[in-house]
Amino acid sequence: MPETSQADHVRLLKGQRLFREFDAGDWTTFFAILTEQTVPAGHTIVQQGDVDGMAFVVVEGQCLLYRANHLLKRYQAGDCFGELSLFGTHQRMETIVAETPVTMLCMHARDLDDASKIPPQLAKKLYKGFAYTAAGYLGANSSLYDNMEVLIIQDGGCAPGYNPVTAFLTEYLEKAHHRVFVAAKGFRSLVSNQAGDYRCLVYQKENYAQLDHIPGVIFSPPLRDQRGANFRAERYPDFRSEALQRKAAQHLQQRNVKVLIGVGGNGTCAGIRALSRFLDDDVQVFFIPVTIDSDVSGTECIGEYTGVEYGAEKLRCYMADARTHRRLYIIEMMGASGGYHALHSCLGAGAHLAVLPNHEYDLSALVEALRDRQGTVIVVAEGYRAQRRKAQEYGGNAAEFFRDELLAAGLQTRQKIVCEPFSRDIRGASPNNMDIALAQMMARKLVQLVQSGESCQMPAVQSGRAFSIAFDDIDTDNSVASELADLANRLT
């Protein structure tokens, strides 16, 4: 190697940690075993699966390191890569590609192990430097979260199906050659935007084996069977602020997000739609409805079937107790707007009355019907008279408010009146087969929408048919049919 080139290389490399213990006399010996190589942009320098015992130092240009199709690191002038292959014969775990034309210094393990070429003391310095750089790489978060192609956001109140649909999205998107990430705490993570605010989801086991040393990398298949929502926080009302929405959009742009998927109920839908206004046109945005109360109209919603199944079973237990002990149970259940969950749980259990938002009831007729009964279960949706209760600063729940309305209308009964507040345990129920199937259908439809270049769409399913609804056409005031409400009145 010419002395002028060697002098330039020494100036470039002597500040690097790998060569920190080199003395002035070590450089000539070291450069004697190196060869210089220049490759064009796009050239694959290291291929996953190779066995070559080579390490490289970048002199000029930039290289990209990939594992399982994830960009993990960018190498620039002075950086070393491939050093792990010097410690023994094993297959490469990564692929490294020239991002620009690259000039490199190449070294081979056989030369480092040849005492006639590299004295033991110099070899010791080199291997010590390699160990430091390798340990630093293994413990680093790398740049994995700087390029989050697909980002999932779970937000809103928990419902059965959050985790399964996230698992299916990861499976289908990864099979379509997309890289999938998820916000650790919903919209909060987008505003905070630290590396620890995100997780990388991996479906294929062989890909996970290449990435599991990086913090936050999660093997996604077990999510299919997990209850609850692993990647959400409590509701984040501050995200209604346009300033925070703009900030989140800027952070998504910085992390090169190309596909954004919101998962949740009507609040999450509102957040995603608001956020989409501040994203570049090349970012595809979607929403998947997961809500026990089916508060997104025009589609079946993931979680609604499990919610009704568990809700009806709870009501059957109350009905047995009401018959046995001559009680009038007034039970508050989910149903902030339309009352879907309260209505269908009532119908499924054969309870005696569903009291729903936006419906009027003949209290005098109900009082008369309850007078001589010896066991009754009434279901009251949590949104019943919500505005009136707020205006009156009423301190009780919807069930208690309806009880007080009955008493004010002259209710007299030998039944013991018991009011039960909204029970949240249904949120943690294990998704049933109907919701699992619905999650698969919506995940598959979403991937089709991504591949066709669509955006601002919600996958929808009705009677086994998958389609999509544009954001502008989504209605989150999902009122129930009056005919069904009539069926849920066995008192009058």
- Structure confidence at residue 133 (pLDDT): 66
Residue 67 within a domain: yes
Residue 279 within a domain: yes
Q: Are residues 310 and 391 in the same domain?
A: yes
Q: Are residues 293 and 166 in the same domain?
A: yes
Q: Are residues 157 and 287 in the same domain?
A: yes
Q: Are residues 186 and 290 in the same domain?
A: yes
- pLDDT < 50 stretches in the chain: 1, 4, 139
Claim: this prediction has a pTM higher than 0.85:
no
Rounded CA-CA distance 273/260 in Å is 11
Q: Are residues 161 and 286 in the same domain?
A: yes
Specify the CATH number for the domain of residue 408. 3.40.50.460
Residue 482 within a domain: no
Under 8 Å between Cβ of 301 and 156? no
Q: Are residues 170 and 295 in the same domain?
A: yes
Residue type, 85: S
The domain of 234 spans 145-302+431-473
- Structure confidence at residue 478 (pLDDT): 63
Nearest to 305 by CA among 333, 345, 338, 334: 345
Q: Domain ends where: 429, 461, 485?
A: 429
Q: Domain ends where: 371, 399, 429?
A: 429
Tens-place pLDDT, residues 303-352 = 999 999 999 999 999 999 999 999 999 999 998 888 999 999 999 999 99
Residue 489 within a domain: no
Residue 98 within a domain: yes
Of all residues in the chain, the percent with pLDDT exceeding 90 is 61
348 vs 307, 315, 323, 345, 403, CA distance in Å?
Answer: 11, 9, 18, 5, 23
Rounded CA-CA distance 478/295 in Å is 5
As for how many domains the chain has, the answer is: 3
Q: Are residues 296 and 154 in the same domain?
A: yes
Tens-place pLDDT, residues 84-140 = 777 666 677 788 999 999 999 898 888 877 888 888 888 888 777 777 766 655 545
What contacts 24+ positions apart, CB below 8 Å, involve 217-222?
217/144, 220/166, 220/167, 220/170, 220/171, 220/180, 221/167, 221/171, 222/167
Q: Are residues 42 and 117 in the same domain?
A: yes
Residue 49 within a domain: yes
Q: Are residues 170 and 247 in the same domain?
A: yes
Residue 486 within a domain: no
Q: Are residues 237 and 384 in the same domain?
A: no
Specify the CATH number for the domain of residue 47. 2.60.120.10
Q: Are residues 329 and 413 in the same domain?
A: yes
**Other beta carbons less than 10 A from residue 97's beta carbon:** 18
Q: Are residues 281 and 195 in the same domain?
A: yes
Nearest to 174 by CA among 204, 147, 140: 204
Q: 390 CB contacts (<8 Å, ≥6 apart)?
A: none
